[in-house]
Structures are given as structure tokens and as C-alpha cells.
Amino acid sequence: MKSFLIDHYSKGGALRLGESPMPELRENDVLVEIHAAGVNPLDNKIRDGEFKLILPYRLPLVLGNDLAGIVVRVGANVRKFKPGDEVYARPAQDRIGTFAEYIAIDEADLAMKPSNLTMEEAASIPLVALTAWQVLVERANLQKGQKVLIHAGSGGVGAIAIQLAKHLGAYVATTAGTANTDLVKSLGADVVVDYKKNDFETVLRDYDVVLNSLGKDTLEKSLRVLKPGGKLISISGPPDPQFARQNGFGWLLRQVMRLLSFGIRRKSKRQGINYSFLFMTANGGQLGRIASLIEAGHIRPVMDRVFPFEKTNEAMDYVETGRAKGKVVITVKQVP
């Protein structure tokens, strides 16, 4: 099958279009013909080697972390899906590879595609929506009437997180550039801080939750907008000891993560704020609940551009500019 691979880690390097063997089907697996795949900053970071310590992939590696497609075959123990089903998913982190014609995925990580979305729209959802869900619902336990700041509201995660937070009944602030103010307001943001004109930490006060997807400066400034007892949840790092424990990392790696996060954990503790790092995990059950919200009109996909499969490298380059509004998607299989 055709796929886009990396043979070695290389910052900004091009993926190689090549032939890969068809995936092997385990007893709990579903073989999916991929129709569309989302492109995420995570793909660029894996290619660049930024995660090789915590995600030791065997090379060559097929990249890609989002998919929508059609079930072709199922393993002996699979009960939830059958050939012909339209599905979407974020594969488990040790089984990625959606920049390809087929993938084998555990049925626990798979969900039925929202019926009101195209394959491209559905492929834009899994990674960012699961991230938003796991931050706001699972980790933050966001409640009606609480105040949440979602950084980079026009980005892939931000665009979905704003909608989910509004559905949960929260008061939502976000940061965005001038050109994206109307977009984030249309998604439900109550307050938009134009980061080109204002410093968010001087404008916002007494927030319950911050979802951070940006760098160290933004992370530390976010402490100033939180009330005591508030939660600062970062999806861009630094990883903390709890994350290391959950993933069963060895002693040395646990110490590295303790040191990396020491500064922000100490500052948070001084202010009575809970800091945590979240690395999203695959979850078909959560995707099923997200699909229901999409079908009910509470969440809509936000897509910037769709590239054909052969231009996957151009899609990666476009994501790397950081200017995409919402998600970038590649069409793997053209449907007549």
C-alpha cells in the first residue's frame, strides 16, 4: 500500500512516498481503508525527533494521527464494527500511521463517523477533540458557570475546545490574532484577547481553568489569570512526574521530567494552583460521545485547507507555519 514514511528523524525533512506492507490484523483489530487523514503539529514534532525519548518508534515509520474511512475487515474478537461501517479515530500512539491507504486499529480506539460530516471533516476531529475532551471534561471537570481561558482559539485544539466549553456551560475567554477574532467569536468565545494588541494576563482575572498549548512564557503568565485552586493544564509541556508515572517511564526519564517541570510546578504551588501536563490518548468511547455532540450541532469542524494525498509534504509544511485556522486534512482516497 502507498504511504508517507520517515526513514530517520530530520527537522523539517520531507516524508518519503513509498510502499508499505498491509497491516497485520490482530484479534481485536479493525482494518480500515483510509479516506482522509488529519495533519497535526504532532506529526511535525515526531518527524523532527522531538518525541523520540518518550515515543521510541521503530523506523521507517508511517506518520499520521487522525483518520476517517471505511471498515474492510474485522478481527475474530471484534463485535462493535462490521465491513462497510464509516468510522473515525485517533490510533493509539504506538500504532500511528494514517498517512497511508490502510491501517489496523484496535476496536476500542474506533468510533462510528458522525453521520453529518464528510470524510475530510470527520478526519479533522479525533486528535483535537479528544484533547479538548480530556482536558476540559476529564482533567478539569469543567462545570457550568466556571471561567476557562483557552489559548490559541483559532488553532486545531482551540477551535474545538471553545465549542466544547460553551456546551458545558462555561464562560470562555481565548487569545487570537486580529484576523481570527470573528472566527473564535462565532465558535462561542465570550472574551477575545487580541495578543497583538493586549497582554492577556493584564486583562483576565479569577479564572478556574487555563488550557495552554503555547510556550513557556505563556504558561507562566497564565498563572496570573487563575484564582487559587485553579487548574493550569498544558498540552505543550513541560511533562510532569505524574505523566511519567502513568506511562511507566524508567527512573532516569522520570527525573528528567521532574526537572523539566520543576519551575512551573513550584510557581503554581506557591499560588495554590494545580499544574498538570496532558498527552492525549486514544479513546473510541469518548469519540462516540463527541460524535453525538457533532450530530446534535453543538460542535462543528473547523477546517483550513484540504490537500490531495500526493501533496502530504505540502500539508505538513503548511501546518508548520502555525497560521492554519482549525485543521489541515489530506484526502487519501478520492470517492467518485
Beta strand pairing status for 110-112 and 303-308? unpaired
Of 334 and 304, which is predicted with more confidence? 304
Q: Are 211 and 256 in contact (CB under 8 A)?
A: no
As a whole number of angstroms, the distance between CA 12 and CA 311 comes to 15
Please report the pLDDT score of residue 247 as a whole number. Answer: 87
CA distances from 328 to 59, 212, 258 (A): 25, 21, 34
Question: What are the cell numbers at 169?
Answer: 456551560
- What is the three-class DSSP state of 119? helix
Task: Share the mean pLDDT of the chain.
Answer: 96
Pick the closest to residue 110 from 291, 236, 335 (CA basis).
291
**Residue bearing cell 512526574:** 241
**Residue bearing cell 521530567:** 257
Please report the pLDDT score of residue 336 as a whole number. Answer: 67
As a whole number of angstroms, the distance between CA 256 and CA 327 comes to 32
Note the pLDDT tens digit of each residue in 249-285: 889 999 999 999 999 999 999 999 999 999 999 999 9
Q: Are 133 and 226 in contact (CB under 8 A)?
A: no
Average pLDDT over residues 144-163: 98
Say yes or no to pLDDT of 9 above 70: yes
> Angle CA(7)–CA(8)–CA(12) in degrees, nearest 5?
105
Largest CA distance in the chain: 60
Note the pLDDT tens digit of each residue in 36-92: 999 999 999 999 999 888 888 999 999 999 999 999 999 999 999 999 999 999 999
Q: Which residues of 246-268 are buried (b: 16+ CB within 10 A; e: fewer)?
A: ebebeeeebebbeebbeebbeeb
Average pLDDT over residues 106-118: 98
As a whole number of angstroms, the distance between CA 90 and CA 132 comes to 13
Q: Are 238 and 220 in contact (CB under 8 A)?
A: no
Of 250 and 206, which is predicted with more confidence? 206
Please report the pLDDT score of residue 335 as a whole number. Answer: 73
Share of the chain above pLDDT 90, in %: 94
